[in-house]
Amino acid sequence: MRLIVARCEVRYSGRLDALLPESLRLIVVKADGSVLVHADAGGYKPLNWMTPPTVIEERPGRMVVRKRAGASEDRLEIEIYEVLCDVTYDMGSPDDHAALAKDGVEAHLQELLAERPECCGEGFRLVRREWPTDIGPVDLMCRDAEEQWVAVEIKRVGGIEAVEQLARYLERIRRDPALRSCRGVLAAQTVKPQARVLAQARRIAWVEVDLAVLRDEREPELKLFAA
């Protein structure tokens, strides 16, 4: 991982155009190709970022991050006026790190939905739990009533981060020609309004599930919202 503290200007172009005027910021460059630009305020979220796969081009005073050919025209252009710190740390191979464990509720939801995948969508049947991708496993891989592939990501509370996570999984899954038409469903006890909007934009469906229903303590009321 590379950490750069620099006075810089950041310009993003792609789905929209955005400019961060010159200021002191932290630039994080990860081994997987992620690039994040942080300020010293505003919480944990970056001001701008690019998710892998990316190509990073550097020359004195300038860094350009773009999506690999054929993936997107998104570009992050960083004009660097002064570098205060530029350090790189060896964080080890991704295989050396244990995956983030789900909390008890999410783990229990996954177990119950694996037993009853139809609660995520009509006609769903489970193919495999923890379907592997090169950036982590998607919770459930199912087929629907028409034998189409469906990737299901399970959260206790579905926020915009969950939608982005599932979108990244789908990008990797669809690289396999046999899974090119795979669609995604976010299943959560609660899906936040912002996540619903983003899911629609990403063409991802979402469903709110009830633990009491999954435990047969209450009659089901399925609400699946397709993008």
3-class secondary structure per residue, the chain? CEEEEEEEEEEEECCCCEEEEEEEEEEEECCCCCEEEECCCCCCCCCEEECCCEEEEEECCEEEEEECCCCCCCEEEEEEEEEEEEEECCCCCHHHCCCCCCCHHHHHHHHHHHHCHHHCCCCCEEEEEEECCECECEEEEEECCCCCEEEEEEEEEECHHHHHHHHHHHHHHCCCHHHCCCEEEEEEEEECHHHHHHHHHCCCEEEECCHHHHCCCCCCCCCEECC
Q: Tens digits of per-residue pLDDT, 127-157?
A: 999 999 988 899 999 999 999 999 999 998 9
Under 8 Å between Cβ of 147 and 125: no
Pick the CATH number of 104-225 from 3.40.1350.10, 2.30.29.30, 3.90.1200.10, 3.20.20.70: 3.40.1350.10
Q: What is the dihedral of CA 77, 83, 85, 88, to 10 degrees?
A: 40
0.85 surpassed by pTM: no
The reply to whether CATH 2.40.37.10 applies to domain 2-88 is no
Task: Summarize pLDDT for 31-47 with one digit per residue, the tens.
Answer: 888 999 999 987 888 99
Which residue ranges make up each domain of the chain?
2-88, 104-225
Which residues of the chain, if any, have pLDDT below 70? 68-72, 92-104, 216-227
End-to-end CA distance of the chain: 36
